[in-house]
Chain A
Amino acid sequence: MSDISVQDSSYEANMGDYFALLKPRVMSLVVFTALVGLLVAPLPVHPFIGFVSILCIAVGAGASGALNMWWDADIDRLMKRTATRPIPSGRVEPGEALGIGLALSGFAVVLLALATNFVAAFLLAFTIFFYAVVYSMFLKRSTPQNIVIGGAAGAFPPMIGWAVATGGVSIESILMFALTFMWTPPHFWALALFVKSDYGNAGVPMLTETHGRDATRRHVLIYTLLLVPVALGLGLTSIGGPIYMAVAVVMNAWFLKGAIDIYRRDDAACEADKHKVEIGVFKVSLYYLFAHFCALLLEAALRQYGLGGW
């Protein structure tokens, strides 16, 4: 604990400390994918209602982040990466995080229901429940597959965006969900292979530590293989098109090649080049998701001019 600076009791939390509870970096991915889900939907949304919807989805995601930080404060304290978060560093009281998390969840869900429809609001409520309760409280500390099932929480936003516009769920939105859902495990495990983590100290099971690095490499390859048909399948739906398909083929080939490269390596090779391949694949995984959603957006934009789509 000596390297953690604990604030003195006279410290007053400022807005920045509360904002940090909402995990702004996770929020940016949520905003982007939710916006794509909303914009590619076949029905137009009034810009102001669209703005409020995205804000509600972002605040809802942030609220679940605050609830996660409240629940995980004990283990966040033990890990270097998370020890500087508002609660473990003593800037925010745990009870404040709980209150903010619950209040913002309520506001976000109710406002989304009033501004748009109940399907979108239900999906947002379910996402918050899934991340704060199913992932944080049950999965995270009990199974090394935590990241697989927990990834669902990060995959819902495009589906919510779609529901904002259409008021329902369809094959397109399910495949957008599946794309992010299947992408999360190889993305995260590629990271786990080169980052020295201290999850073990906190008692959080991580595949690299419970089943070893070879098993993790195998998992990266298997999940990437499962991801490919989802990504290509999305291209065959009404929101896909030739541009999306071209992007998907290139990105999937690139990602798959990286996963195979990882699979063929062993620890000695990783140490020898300081995890060069794993770091490379992690970067590709970031481009991968970004490129797919940008391509969907491009197809939707071109559709207005009679181009794009099949």
Chain B
Amino acid sequence: MTFKVEHEVHGRRKNRNYGVLMLLIGFVAIVFGLTVVKVLQLGDARQFETFDHVARPQIEPQEGSE
């Protein structure tokens, strides 16, 4: 038994399939890049943690700490 069954349609659609692969990789790269840029633009990256909508006492500035 072989797992590699080549059908002639694979050959015909090779160009298209690689194209879709490239587009998906590009899309992932864009979303990742946007995430990095947006988080860095926050200035204080701890603000990012407040996005989970849950009170997080440990990230609030402590009194007298600054």
Same assembly: yes
Residues in chain A within 8 A of chain B (CB atoms) = 10, 12-15, 18, 46, 48-49, 52, 55, 111, 114-115
**A52 cross-chain contacts in B, Cβ below 8 A:** 30, 33-34
Name B1-15 residues within 8 Å CB distance of A.
Answer: 9, 12-13, 15
Q: How large is the interface on B (under 10, 10 to 19, 20 to 34, 35 or more residues)?
A: 10 to 19
Closest chain-B Cβ to A210's Cβ sits at a distance in Å of: 42
Please name 12 further chain A to chain B contacts, defined as beta carbons within 8 Å, in addition to the given A12-B13, A14-B19, sorted by A numbering.
A12-B9, A12-B12, A12-B16, A13-B16, A15-B19, A48-B33, A48-B34, A48-B37, A55-B30, A111-B30, A114-B34, A115-B34
B34 contacts A14, CB within 8 Å? Answer: no
**B65 cross-chain contacts in A, Cβ below 8 A:** none
Closest chain-B Cβ to A17's Cβ sits at a distance in Å of: 9
A49 contacts B34, CB within 8 Å? Answer: yes
B16 contacts A14, CB within 8 Å? Answer: yes
**A12 cross-chain contacts in B, Cβ below 8 A:** 9, 12-13, 15-16
> Residues 1-43 of chain B: 1 if any A CB is under 8 Å from the residue's CB, otherwise 0?
0000000010011011001000000000010011001000100
Residues in chain B within 8 A of chain A (CB atoms) = 9, 12-13, 15-16, 19, 30, 33-34, 37, 41
**A115 cross-chain contacts in B, Cβ below 8 A:** 34
A46 to B39, CA, bound (A): 13
12 sampled A-B residue pairs with Cβ under 8 A: A12-B12, A15-B15, A15-B19, A46-B37, A46-B41, A48-B33, A48-B34, A52-B30, A52-B33, A111-B30, A114-B34, A115-B34
**B12 cross-chain contacts in A, Cβ below 8 A:** 10, 12
**A114 cross-chain contacts in B, Cβ below 8 A:** 34
Closest chain-A Cβ to B41's Cβ sits at a distance in Å of: 7
A48 to B39, CA, bound (A): 13
A18 to B22, CA, bound (A): 14
Q: Please list the 10 inter-chain residue pairs (A to B) with the smallest Cβ-Cβ separation, ordered nearest first.
A: A15-B19, A14-B15, A12-B12, A48-B37, A48-B33, A115-B34, A46-B37, A12-B13, A52-B30, A14-B16
Closest chain-B Cβ to A198's Cβ sits at a distance in Å of: 33
**A14 cross-chain contacts in B, Cβ below 8 A:** 15-16, 19
**Which residue of A is nearest B27, CB measured?**
A107
Closest chain-A Cβ to B62's Cβ sits at a distance in Å of: 32
B19 contacts A49, CB within 8 Å? Answer: no
Closest chain-B Cβ to A103's Cβ sits at a distance in Å of: 11
A111 to B13, CA, bound (A): 28
**Which residue of A is nearest B33, CB measured?**
A48
**B30 cross-chain contacts in A, Cβ below 8 A:** 52, 55, 111
**Which residue of B is nearest A15, CB measured?**
B19
Closest chain-B Cβ to A138's Cβ sits at a distance in Å of: 32
A49 contacts B13, CB within 8 Å? Answer: no
**B16 cross-chain contacts in A, Cβ below 8 A:** 12-15, 18
